[in-house]
Structure formats: structure tokens, C-alpha cells
Amino acid sequence: MSSEVEGRAGPLLDPGGGAPTDTAGLPVPSIALLLERRRQRVRHISATPDKVGRYIVKEVKGRGGMGVVYAAVDPHLNRDVAVKVIRPEYAESPAFQAQFVQESRAMAGVKSPNVVTVHHAEVDEAGHLFLVMELSPGTSLQHLLRPGQALPQATALELGIGLAIGLTAAHAHGAIHGDVNPNNVLVEPGPDGTRVAKLTDFGLARFVEESGSSIGCGTPGYRSPEQINSNQNVTVASDVYSLGAVLYRMLTGRLPVAEEPLQFPSRSRVPRPLRRLCVRCLQAEPHARPSAADVVQALKAYRARWRRRLLVAGVLTATVLAGVFGATWWFNIKSAATMNKVRADMLHIRASSLMTSPDPAKRAQAEREFRAALPVLRKHAARGEVEATMDLAEVLCNLATLAAPDEGLNLCDEAERALNQTGVPHDNDIWAFTWLTRGTVLQNLGQTEKSFEDLTRARTRYAELAPTVDRDEFKQHHATARLNLAKQLIRRNDFAAAVQELDAAVAIWQSLLAANRTQYLTPWIDARYTRGIARYGHSSSLPAEPAAAERATAIQDFSEVIAEQTRSVEAGNTSDALLLLRALMMRHGLFVRQGRAADALKDAEQAIAINDRFAPNVPGHQIDALRKYVQKYQH
């Protein structure tokens, strides 16, 4: 080394030569000091300590960019745990430490079978920043994936539903993962040969990014556009994008390419509903993506249809085999428990389609099949299975609408207890459906105060979820909650609030009519009729001019109902005669208020004719009043 070089390098190599400074006058750490720090960090990561905090280390479970995971024992509670020790270059930041401990403690409040349980986080006397979690027997999802190969559809559905349930629970607690990818998903063996997906490492990548580290937020191929372009805008929608990327990878064997429209490999056999779901999750705009709860519902709905097709195919195959070989069994499923769960799912689906039939025999069959599904669903819910618990709550609520009111109330209460015990997130619409059903049952029992409370909760929850949920069934329940709440408001003479609820309900039913007029016409008519009553009542509290306008809009509502019900009655649906008669009587009263005697007379005469022909259950004094009006007008 030349003397000139030695002269320049000497102060840096000599730890005792004083602290050199850079051109800005700031202290520059010596090379020796930097090398020592490097050795300490390597030693920290490479050497296996005997203890971390109070936890006795057994072995290394894994190493990664964030640190080391040890299998350890908690001597105080005598249980196995996983201890993740964060690398010093991240842990040295006081801001990182404070945020890490605070948000890790928040994650400890998330209780879900699809999220690795966090016990606590701390910094020990040796300076280790570490996180204590449940020790999972699973392996990472990444180990199950093979280049260019998709997972079996049943496995992808099972794991996808678990991941979405885990994210739903975390998002309900305000936690954002920030790096959903196969390396952060543990797959454990579940009951009956199933697999359970568990999310781990919530927020760690995001903590590092916010602390100023060079590690980017999210994993390439799985991170959302907003994570790539602006890490400050990471939201729950970013997790949904990453979830969509994981689903796409499991179903196709490759990562999605950021392009519009999203392409699928030409040889892939991804069903159309799952393609649509992936496309929705991988939208470039965060607001266009579904919520994690919506992904759960969409995957569950598809899985139910898929299982039904498998069962039908199995029945056909069994029929052939039985004819050829005299076989006494028709389908091979892993275990009796799985078979029972599949059968319960099928009973649930079939009963749901039968319960709305006008045929009493079909409704009775629906009740029997709902009851037959209950024992299996109760068993799975008791194990803490979130999906089975939501299915159980739905079956209980559907059965409550068919059963006697007293039993229906008990069924709704059981549904709420099951949801609470399993820890189903409160932002899932199954809660709103439970409150809606119980509120309706309480209304039938005459318990108006309790009914009003449940219907208000249901309506509020549906309104909160409506911007992010685009399912017809959800919209139907949302409109029903508003309609039933409006009926309670009318009984309280709060006509203005009732009109607001009914405006929203009518708009929802109107949007559904285009897709299925047969299914949604009756509730749309009910909402229009009820809104006519609310507007009529509201008009009595308004000044003359606004009152006249409100009565005119009420007449429009009744006129729509009369037109539809007249067509229905003329087509032979005599059960619609009652509502037709009531709408005619309401419009008659409005015409009288407006001084439109000729129109009032026509409605009175038509109402009398409907009553005489079909004898619907209308109080006799009301019909007598109409007869007197006609006689008076004619004379």
C-alpha cells in the first residue's frame, strides 16, 4: 500500500485515531466499527441462543429476510410456541420497535382459525425484538406449489376460503397484512383429511417499509398497484389484490400479469365463476375490488354448486355401477364425516330453493331438510369452523322463518350464540341476516321494541356493507331490512323516516327486477304499497303545497300496485286480491282528499266488485263505508 493510500485509509482503519467526519462535518463510522456491527448481526442471526426472553429455544424452524423463527417452550405456561426474532438492522429503530410491539399486541386480539395466533411481542434484556406466536405444525403454501402446476381445484378452494376468512377477521380488527403471499401462508392438516390455511407475519413488511428500510412493501407478483406506486396507500383492498394473486397462482400454476383484461393460460380449466372472482380481486383500482368477506361468500357459493354437481355425477355413476355390478354404495368420499358435511350442504342448498315456494308441501319439505342438516352443522361449528358456523346460522335463520314464532326466536338466538362463540367477524353480513330474521320473528310475536332494535342493527350493517357487496341475495336482504324497519316506523308515526327507508328499498328492488322479475316483483309491490301509506301519513304533517305533492306521489305508488295486482288477479292469482283491494281503498281516500270525486267513485266501485267476487279478509265496516260513498255520489 502506498503512503498516500495509507495516509487516506489510516484514520478509517484505526479505531483509536479519532472519529473522522464527512464533508458535511458529520461523524463517519470507522470501517472497523462497521465490520464489527456486521459480525454482531451475523452472529445474532447464525447462533442459536438458549433462551429468548423467558422462552427456552428448542430448534430453528426457519430463516428469512426479517429474522429467525425458533421452536421454543414457554416455561410459565408449559406450552410450545414459535418465537420470531427480528434482525437487528430493523429492530435498532426505536420507531420500528414501538410500532411493532403496539400493532403486534393489536393482532393478539384477532381470533380466527385461519390466522396464526399472536401471544405478545417484546424486547428482552439482550436486545432481541421478538414476536411470540402459536407453534404451527404446518408448512408454507409455497412448498405445495410447483412451477407451472396448478393445485387441485378442491385444494385451491379450501385454502382460498381459509385465507379469505383469515383476512376478514383481521380487517375487522383494523389490521392490514401488507404482504399476502404463499410464503406467509401456513398449511396445516385439518379434521377429516382437510387442510387449514393460516396467515402469518401480519404487517411485518409494512413495518419495515415505514421504518425506512430498503425492503419494499409486498412481494413481487403479489403486491397491488398501489403498493408498487405508493406504499402510503396500502389498505385492506391491497390485501384483497394479493389474495386474488394467490388464488390465481393456485388455480393456474402461474402468477398474474398486470394487463387488462386479465388473461388465463389457454390450457387452464379455471371455471368461469372463479375467473370472474380473480378478475374482481385483481382490479387496478382499490375501490373496484370486493371485500375479503365477499370473497369468502363467492368461494363458498361456488364450492356448494361444485359439490352438488359432483354428487349428481356420483348418483349417475352409482346407478350404472349398481345395475352392472349390483353395488350397494354409489360414491367414494374420504370419510363418513366428510360425507355427512357434504350431505348437510346439499340439504341446505335444496331447502333454500324450496322455502320460498307458494306450495305448502314444498315449504314443509324445506323445513324437514333444514332440520336434517342441523346436527352435522352444529358439530362442525362446535369445532370452531367459521364457515360451518356461518352455514349453521343461515340454516337456523331460514328455519326460523318456517317454524312457529316461539321456536323461531329460539333458533335465531342459537344462531347469534354460535356466531359469537366461533368469533365470526361482525362485518360479515351473516350477522345482519341473523338480526333481520330475529327482528321479523319478534315483530310477528308483537315484541315491537326488541324487533325495532334488531331491525335497526340489521339495516345499519347492510347499509355499511352495501358499497362493497354486489350479490343479489345481499341486496334482497338489505331491501327487506329497510322495508320491515319502515313498517315499524309507520307504527310509530315516524312517516318521514319511513319514507326515506322505503325510497332506498324500492330502489334496490327496482334494480333487481331487471334480473328476475318473477322473484322480486312481489316484494317490490309490497315496498311500493308501504311507501304509499308512509307518504300519505307524512302528508298530514306538511304545509298545504308540499302535502299535495306528497299525496300525488303516494297516488303514483298505489297506482303501480293496482296495475300489477290487477294483471295478477286476472291471470288467476286470486291470493293477490287482498292487496289489490287495499291499494284501491287507499287511493280512493287520496282521491277524496284531492276532491277528485269521479276517480274516487271508480276506485270505490272496483273495490266493492273485488270484495264481492273474492271475499278477501277486509273488515266489513270498511266495505260498508265504500258502499255508502257510492250511494251518496249516485244520489
User: What pLDDT was estimated at residue 163?
Assistant: 96
Q: Looking at the domain assignment, is residue 96 inside a domain?
A: yes
Q: Is residue 595 part of a domain?
A: no
Final residue of a structural domain among 254, 278, 299: 299
Q: Are residues 292 and 143 in the same domain?
A: yes
Q: What are the helix (H) ranges across 71-203? A: 88-91, 94-107, 141-144, 153-172
Question: Is residue 566 in some structural domain?
Answer: no
- Is residue 400 one of the residues assigned to a domain? no
Q: Are residues 62 and 189 in the same domain?
A: no
Domain span including residue 24: 3-43
3-state secondary structure of 578: helix
In a domain, residue 494? The reply is no
Q: Which residues pair with 123 in a beta bridge?
A: 129
Q: What is the pLDDT of residues 341-387, one digit of tens each?
A: 666 766 776 777 778 777 888 889 989 988 998 998 899 889 888 87
| Domain identity same for 199 and 64 | no
> 52 and 38, same structural domain?
no
Q: Any idea what DSSP says for residue 128?
A: -
The number of folded domains in the chain is 3
* Reported confidence tier of residue 10, pLDDT bands at 50, 70, 90: very low
Asked if residue 287 and residue 225 are part of one domain, the reply reads yes
Dump pLDDT digits (tens) for 181-227.
Answer: 998 999 998 776 678 999 988 766 454 444 444 344 678 889 898 88
Query: Do 148 and 202 reside in the same domain of the chain?
Result: yes
Residues 80 and 108 in one domain: yes
Shared-domain flag, residues 17 and 105: no
152 with 234, same domain: the answer is yes
Q: Residue 230: give its domain's CATH number.
A: 1.10.510.10
Mean pLDDT of 41-66: 75
Q: For residue 554, how many other CB atoms are within 10 A of its CB?
A: 25
Our measurement of the distance from residue 316's CA atom to the centroid of its chain's CA atoms, rounded to an integer in Å, reads 35
Tell me the whole-structure pTM to 2 decimals: 0.51
Q: Do residue 240 and residue 161 come from a single domain?
A: yes
Tell me the catalytic residues. 179
Cis peptide bond prior to 616, omega within 30° of 0: no
> Which one, of 218, 222, 225, 230, lies nearest residue 250 by Cα?
222
Q: Is residue 567 part of a domain?
A: no
**409 found inside a domain:** no
DSSP code at position 66: S
Q: Do 285 and 148 belong to one domain?
A: yes
- Domain finish residue from 43, 59, 75: 43
Residue 553 has pLDDT above 70, yes or no: yes
CATH number at residue 117: 3.30.200.20
pLDDT at 172 over 50: yes
**227 in the same domain as 89:** no
CA-to-CA distance for 143 and 8, rounded, in angstroms? 51
